[in-house]
A = this chain, B = another copy of it.
């Protein structure tokens, strides 16, 4: 019997349907519904509140692109903070950079980390690294209590519904700004420019009100609605578009390279119009 799951609800009128071979794990955590399913096309997938978070087939795009753009823009990132990102994929990418001395993951839901370690070891594999500290607490409170400490802060959140709403608010962006050092960089995933025409200009405005350098960049992510995903960046000093990228990366990636880094900021006209709204 062929079983299919259709993700609906993020974008009204749209669904992504995925054939499912087996539900490997399912639970209601203190924060959300969590499921690990196996699929013929994507391999194992992590769903939170029935929304696709990550999967073995295409996770490399999101995790590389939310990490390496900022990490290659900053000349010497030593201390990096990840808010959310309990699957560990962003941490795995961050610790590829030899300059990084400490990476802190602040995930509100301990079960995301534990389940990812068990079922998605390819993604969660960096979480035991001695440079990595994993904290189970509210990311919003954490950044409020840390000042002038991080070179890079990455918000690897769920969609702006449910537990992550606060991670898309101006007060959170201000706390992140204050938690960054004087030349720090902030990055957040900010949904699809085809479907989220309200969120992207609002976040861009919030970031622009704080940082001298505000950018949006794009990546191809097949399992997120529309396959076109945006990342918003605020930078206190370094411009990701003019930074010297002539040195080859010392680590392996499957999506990111320096051409892709430059290309990601070359926005289609309708996206340019959206961020300048």
Please give, as numbers and ranges, the residues of chain B lying within 8 Å of A39 by CB-CB distance: 13
A256 touches B268 (CB 8 A): yes
B11 touches A41 (CB 8 A): yes
A267 within 8 A of B: yes
Nearest CB of B to A234, in Å: 21
Would you give the 0/1 interface string for A234-262, flagging 1 where the beta carbon is closer than 8 Å to chain B?
A: 00000000000000000001111101101
B222, B260, B262: the one within 8 Å of A228 (CB): B222
CA distance A8 to B256 in the complex (A): 30
Would you give the 0/1 interface string for A85-115, flagging 1 where the beta carbon is closer than 8 Å to chain B?
A: 0000000000000000000000000000000
B18 touches A17 (CB 8 A): no
Question: Which residues of A (192-232) have their CB < 8 Å from a CB of B?
Answer: 192, 194-195, 218, 220-222, 225-228
Would you give the 0/1 interface string for A46-77, flagging 1 where the beta carbon is closer than 8 Å to chain B?
A: 00000000000110110000000000000000
Please give, as numbers and ranges, the residues of chain B lying within 8 Å of A148 by CB-CB distance: none
Total contacting residues, chain A, CB less than 8 A: 47
Number of chain copies forming the complex: 2
Least CB separation from A4: chain B residue: B15
Nearest CB of B to A23, in Å: 15
A276 within 8 A of B: no
Which of A14, A41, A266, A268 has most chain B Cβ within 10 Å? A268
Given A15-B16, A254-B269, A256-B269, 19 further pairs, Cβ under 8 A = A6-B17, A12-B40, A13-B19, A13-B39, A14-B41, A61-B268, A194-B220, A194-B222, A220-B220, A220-B228, A221-B227, A227-B227, A227-B228, A254-B268, A257-B269, A257-B272, A259-B267, A262-B266, A263-B266
- If the complex has contacts A4-B15, A6-B15, A218-B220, are A255 and B268 also in contact, measured as CB distance less than 8 A? yes
A41 touches B15 (CB 8 A): no
A266 touches B259 (CB 8 A): yes
Would you give the 0/1 interface string for A16-32, flagging 1 where the beta carbon is closer than 8 Å to chain B?
A: 11110000000000000
A254 touches B227 (CB 8 A): no
Please give, as numbers and ranges, the residues of chain B lying within 8 Å of A264 by CB-CB distance: 263
B13 touches A15 (CB 8 A): no
Nearest CB of B to A188, in Å: 20
A220 touches B41 (CB 8 A): no
Nearest CB of B to A85, in Å: 21
B14, B194, B259, B266: the one within 8 Å of A260 (CB): B266
Please give, as numbers and ranges, the residues of chain B lying within 8 Å of A260 by CB-CB distance: 266-269
Least CB separation from A270: chain B residue: B254
